[in-house]
Amino acid sequence: MGEFAAGVKGGDWVKYRYAFADTNPVTQAIWKKITIQTVDGPVVSGVVEKNLPGQPSSTQQFSLNITKRDSSPSIDDFFFIPANLTTGSIIPALNRTLTGTTMWLDR
């Protein structure tokens, strides 16, 4: 396939909030924000900020290669896959076949 494109650039970010369906509902805000600092070929580096129940907010650096299974403890491999894959392509870090694509809010 050739070179893999990261599909993100320094300054890009995503923040999401989530809740757990449980018998004891969580009342504290739970969120994670991922900010990209640099992209060097297939290597994406940045910061993960987390707010989890019962824990102080935390910030951790991460760096991962989107073509390898080498993520840091602060972020999972599946967060970033190459941007130039098509249906039927193998996702390199996960060794799984891409079965389709979805575009949501230009992402």
Split at pLDDT 50, 70, 90, the class of 66 is: confident
Rounded-to-integer distance, Cα 44 and Cα 10, Å: 9
- Looking at residue 1, its pLDDT comes to 46
Among 10-24, 33-47, 53-67, 71-85, whose mean pLDDT is lowest?
71-85
- pTM, whole model, 2 decimals? 0.74
Whether 53 has a pLDDT exceeding 90, the answer reads no
Q: What is the dihedral of CA 6, 8, 33, 92, to 10 degrees?
A: -10
**For the residues 72-86, what does the mean pLDDT come to?**
73
Burial tier of 54 (Cβ tally within 10 Å: 0-12, 13-18, 19+): exposed
**Mean pLDDT rounded to a whole number for the chain:** 80
